[in-house]
Structure 1
Amino acid sequence: MKLDAAVEKLAALAQASRLSIFRLLVAKGPDGMAAGEIAERLKIAPNALSFHLKGLSSAGLLKCWQEGRFVYYAPDFKAMNGLLAYLTEHCCEGSAKNDAACAPAKTCKEC
């Protein structure tokens, strides 16, 4: 991942509602969630939710698709893991110890 792409993704997450949306969708998994259900769960007005979903989608962090009259959103786990890999790429290089401090706490089954 290039620096500009990482900055774009981090900027999209650097807002309370967007971070809440992304975390909710990560917890839901690859099946995603309808926009209306996201709004209901997080108590976000539909017009504000649309704005935030667009920001996350434009940054490449969400996938969306339509089923009937519903639009579903799910995290792009490949993009999420790419960002995490970018952030931790050089973790502990300067450390004399090679311990578990740099290992991720949990890995995504979907990725």
Structure 2
Amino acid sequence: METQNAVGGLAALAHPGRLEVFRLLVKAGDAGLAAGEIARLTGSLPNTLSTNLGILAGAGLVASRREGRSIIYTAGYDRMRELLAFLMEDCCAGNAAICAPLAEVASRACGAEGRSC
């Protein structure tokens, strides 16, 4: 991943409302959530939510699909993995003990509720 692409992704997440929406969508999994449900769960106003979703989508961190009259939003897992990999690429200067807590967090998250990562 190019540095400029990483900066774009990090900038999109560098806002409390957008970060909350993104984390909610990550938890929702592939099923995603309808825009109205996201607004209800986050307490966002529709226009604010629309702006935040647009910024996250522009960074590749959110995707959408139409289901009937609803628009369903999902986390952009590929982009998220690319961003995490970029951040960890040079991690630890070869000292695995520094990054070991991150592996533990990932293991707990992936093992939760039978999810696979």
TM-score, normalized by the shorter chain, greater than 0.5: yes
What is the aligned counterpart of 2:99 among 97, 102, 106? 102
On the 8 A contact 1:33/1:74 being kept in 2, the answer is yes
> What's 2:15 paired with?
15
> What's 1:76 paired with?
76
TM-score of the pair, normalised by structure 1: 0.90
Stretches of 4+ moved more than 4 A in 1? 107-111
Please give the per-residue CA displacement for 1:76-97, whole angstroms capped at 9, x wherever unaligned: 111101100000100011x5x4
Please, which runs of 5 or more residues in structure 2 have no aligned partner?
none
Please, which runs of 5 or more residues in structure 1 have no aligned partner?
none
> What's 2:6 paired with?
6
The structure with more helix, counted as a fraction of residues: 2
Aligned residues: 108
- When residues 86 and 39 of structure 1 are mapped into structure 2, their CA distance, relative to the original with a 3 A threshold, is same
- When residues 31 and 4 of structure 1 are mapped into structure 2, their CA distance, relative to the original with a 3 A threshold, is same
Q: Map residues 59-70 of structure 1 onto 2, 5 A cutoff.
A: 59-70=59-70
Aligned residue for 1:60, secondary structure, equals coil
Deviation at 1:98, TM superposition (A): 3.6
On the 8 A contact 1:32/1:73 being kept in 2, the answer is yes
- In 2, the alpha carbon distance for the partners of 1:13 and 1:72 equals 20
Matched-pair identity in %:
44
Aligned residue for 1:44, secondary structure, equals coil
Q: What value does the CA root-mean-square deviation take over the aligned residues?
A: 1.5
